[in-house]
Amino acid sequence: MAEYEHLTPTMRAIISAITKSTLFIYTLIAILLIIIALLTFLDAVYLILTIFSGGDLIAGILDVLHVLLLTIIVVEVLETVTEYFRTKKIMVRPILIAGLTAMVRKVLILNVEQIQIVDAISIIGMIAVLTLAIYVVGKTEYESPSG
């Protein structure tokens, strides 16, 4: 805490309380994300087990993919929280990966006949930007000695 030595004891106590509160909130968020990830995974398992019980096989497979991609999104957000505990920094890459996964999930639920060309171009553009951002951030993290 050498960086806080110039502060008054009251300010140091306030900063300490805020830091502890933040860690407590992140802990609660992590617990909730773990529960959500487990529930979405169990839902995917259930959907896989019931996929052949009748109905449209393709629709069942798409339902499983939707739930699995949602699970991946939740796990990536959980990874962000976990990395915050390790480094006290918010990592950007897992958030970008969650965003890319969400866009892929969006593509899977689109009805090709009903989509407007502007929407399709927007989605393709967002996927391209997110992919480029993941590449750039990953390259930056790989090259930096602290990341």
Q: Is the pTM of this model over 0.85?
A: no
Which tokens is 36 given? 């959500």
Q: Where are the domains of the chain?
A: 2-143
**Triad 16, 22, 23: Cα angle to 5°:** 90
Number of other residues whose CB lies within 10 A of the CB of residue 52: 9
pLDDT (tens digit, 9 = 90+) per residue, 28-74? Answer: 999 999 999 999 999 999 999 988 887 788 888 888 998 999 999 99
Alpha-helical (H) ranges within the chain are 9-50, 57-87, 93-109, 117-143
